[in-house]
Amino acid sequence: MKNFTLIAIALLFPFLALGQSTARINNIIIDNQKEIKELTGLDFSKTTERLFSPVVQAHLLSGKPDKSDYVMKLDSIIDSFTDDDGESWEYDWKNDFEYNEEWQATVIYEREWFDDQNEWEVTGRTELSYNEAGQVTIIEFHSTDDDWKTISPQGRIEVTYDEDGWIDFLEIFDFEEEEWVLQLIQDYDFSEDERLEKIETKMYLEETDEWEVGMTIRFTYDDDNRRISSGLYMSVEGEMDEILYSLAEYRYDEEGRLSETEESGFDMFAGELVPEYLREYSYFEGDQNRVYEYYWDQEDWQLAYKEEVFYDYDINFSEVAYPFRPLMILFEWEIEADMDPDFQHLPVRYLEHEYIADQDEFRKTYQSDFFYSPTADDPEEYTLTYHAGENGSIEGEAVQTVLHGEDGTEVEAVPDEGYHFVEWSDGLETAKRTDTNLTADLTVTATFSATMHTITASAGEGGTISPDGEVSVSQGEDQTFTIDPQEGYQIEDVLVDDESVGAVASYTFEEVTQDHTIHATFAEDEVMYAVTFEVDIGPALEYYDQVEGFEDFDPEEHHIMITGEMLDWAEPGTLEDQIMEVTENENVYSITFHLAAGTYQYKYFSDVIDDGWDSGEWDGDPNREVTVEEDKTVENIFGWPDDPVAINPMPEQIELTIYPNPADSRVQVQADKEMKEVRLLDILGKVVYSRTVNSDSYEITVEGLKEGVYFLQVTTAQGVTTERIQIAR
Residue type, 574: T
- pLDDT score, position 569: 95
For 630-645, give the DSSP string: SSEEEEEETT-SS-SS
Asked if residue 668 has pLDDT above 70, the reply is yes
For the segment 520-545, what is each residue's pLDDT rounded down to a tens digit?
999 888 788 999 999 988 877 766 55
Q: Which helix (H) or strand (E) holds 290?
A: strand 287-296
Q: Is residue 646's pLDDT more than 70?
A: no
Which segment, 41-50, 220-229, 288-297, 506-515, is predicted with the most confidence on average? 506-515
Question: The whole model's pTM is what?
Answer: 0.46
465 pLDDT higher than 50: yes
Q: Determine the pLDDT at residue 40.
A: 40
- 33 pLDDT above the threshold of 60: no
Element at 691 (helix H, strand E)? strand 687-701
- Cβ 649 vs Cβ 585: under 8 Å: yes
Judge residue 390's burial from the number of C-beta atoms within 10 Å of its C-beta, 0-12 exposed, 13-18 middle, 19 or more buried: exposed
Q: Per residue, what are the HEC states of 86-149?
A: CCCEEEEEEEEEEECCCCCEEEEEEEEEECCCCEEEEEEEEEEEECCCCCEEEEEEEEECCCCC
Q: Indicate the pLDDT class of residue 463, thresholds 50, 70 and 90.
A: very high
Say whether pLDDT at 452 is over 70.
yes
Q: Which residues pair with 715 in a beta bridge?
A: 677, 720
In the prediction, which pLDDT does 651 show? 47
Closest CA to 471 of 502, 512, 427: 512
pLDDT of residue 715: 83
Amino acid 609: pLDDT: 87
pLDDT of residue 634: 92
| pLDDT of the residue at 470 | 94
CA–CA distance, 716 with 666 (Å, rounded to integer): 22
**pLDDT, position 308:** 81
Q: Give the pLDDT score at 626.
A: 94
pLDDT digits (tens, 9 = 90+) for 351-372: 888 888 888 888 888 888 888 8
pLDDT at 327: 44
* Residues forming beta bridges with residue 423, ordered by sequence position: 447
Among 331-345, 382-396, 639-653, whose mean pLDDT is lowest? 331-345
What are the CA-CA distances from residue 107 to residues 99, 124, 125, 227, 250 (Å)? 7, 10, 7, 35, 35
Sign of CA dihedral 489, 490, 494, 500: negative
Q: What angle do CA 322, 326, 331 make, to 5 degrees?
A: 110
382 has a pLDDT exceeding 70 = yes
Q: What is the spatial distance between Cα 487 and Cα 524, in angstroms, rounded to a whole number?
A: 9
Which of 333-342, 372-381, 577-586 tops mean pLDDT?
577-586
More confident residue, 172 or 678: 678
Tell me the Ramachandran region of residue 41: left when phi exceeds 0, alpha when psi lies from -120 to 50, beta otherwise.
left
Count of other CB atoms within 10 angstroms of residue 558: 16
Distance CA(142)–CA(144), nearest Å, equals 7
What average pLDDT score do residues 486-509 get? 93
* Band of residue 317 on the pLDDT scale cut at 50, 70, 90: low
Asked if the model's pLDDT at residue 236 lies above 80, the reply is no
pLDDT tens-digit map of 134-152 = 778 888 878 887 666 678 8
Please report, rounded to a whole number, the percentage of residues in the chain having pLDDT higher than 70.
80
Given phi > 0 = left and psi -120 to 50 = alpha, else beta, which region is 196? beta
CB neighbours (10 Å) of residue 374?
Answer: 13
Q: How many CB atoms lie within 10 A of CB 343?
A: 21
Exposure on the CB side of residue 480, measured as CA atoms within 13 A: 4
Q: Average pLDDT of 329-343?
A: 38
- Which residues pair with residue 456 across a beta bridge? 470, 517
- Report the C-alpha gap between 43 and 35 in whole angstroms: 10
Q: Is the pLDDT of residue 196 over 50?
A: yes
Predicted confidence at residue 488, as pLDDT, reads 85
- Judged against a pLDDT cut of 70, whether residue 35 lies above it is answered with no
Residue 570 pLDDT: 94
Lowest mean pLDDT among 21-30, 78-87, 97-106, 397-406: 21-30
- Please count the other Cβ atoms lying within 10 Å of the Cβ belonging to residue 253: 12
pLDDT at 378: 54
Determine the pLDDT at residue 161: 78
Position 304 confidence tier, pLDDT thresholds 50, 70, 90: confident
More confident residue, 422 or 19: 422
CA atoms of 595 and 631, how far apart (whole Å): 9
Q: Quick check: helix, strand or coil at residue 553? A: coil
The residue among 89 and 672 whose pLDDT is bigger is: 672
Q: List, edge to edge, every strand of the sheet that includes 381-388.
A: 399-403, 381-388, 442-450, 419-424
> Does residue 71 register a pLDDT over 80?
no
Lowest mean pLDDT among 122-131, 174-183, 578-587, 706-715: 174-183
- Angle (deg, nearest 10), helices 22-31 and 33-40: 70
More confident residue, 690 or 288: 690
Read off the pLDDT of residues 627-645 as tens digits, 9 standing for 90 and up.
Answer: 999 999 998 988 877 665 5
Which residues on adjacent β-strands are paired with residue 560?
A: 606
Peptide bond connecting 660 to the previous residue in cis, omega within 30 degrees of 0: yes
| pLDDT in the model for residue 628 | 94
The segment with the largest mean pLDDT, out of 99-108, 597-606, 633-642, is 597-606
Taking residue 442's Cβ as centre, other Cβ atoms within 10 Å add up to 16
18 exposure class (CB count in 10 Å sphere: 0-12, 13-18, 19+): buried
Question: So what's the pLDDT on residue 650?
Answer: 45
Residues 6 or more apart whose CB falls under 8 angstroms from that of 312 comprise: 345, 346, 347, 348, 372
In this predicted structure, the answer to whether residue 17 has a pLDDT above a threshold of 60 is: no
pLDDT at 18 over 50: no
Burial of 74 per CB tally in 10 Å (0-12, 13-18, 19+): buried
Q: Is pLDDT at 373 greater than 70 in this prediction?
A: yes
Cα 628 to its chain centre, rounded Å, is 46
pLDDT (average), residues 547-566: 88
Evaluate if residue 1 carries a pLDDT over 50.
no
Average pLDDT over residues 11-20: 32
CB atoms within 10 A of CB 102: 12
Terminus-to-terminus CA distance in the chain, angstroms?
A: 120
Q: What band does 605 get if pLDDT is binned at 50, 70 and 90?
A: very high
For residue 3, CA distances in Å to 8, 10, 312 come to: 9, 11, 40
Instruction: Point out the least confidently predicted range of 77-81, 220-224, 268-272, 342-346.
Output: 342-346
Query: ∠ CA 645-651-652 to the nearest 5 degrees?
Result: 155
Helix boundaries (H) for 467-577: 538-542
User: What region, left, alpha or beta, does residue 105 occupy, with left being phi > 0 and alpha being psi -120 to 50 degrees?
Assistant: beta
HSE (side-chain half, CA atoms, 13 Å) at 198: 9
**Rounded to an integer, what distance in angstroms lies between the CA atom of residue 443 and that of residue 310?**
14
Is a pLDDT exceeding 60 seen at residue 275? yes
**Considering the chain, what is the average pLDDT of its residues?**
79
Measured over the CA atoms of residue 333, residue 336, residue 340 and residue 343, the dihedral's sign is: positive
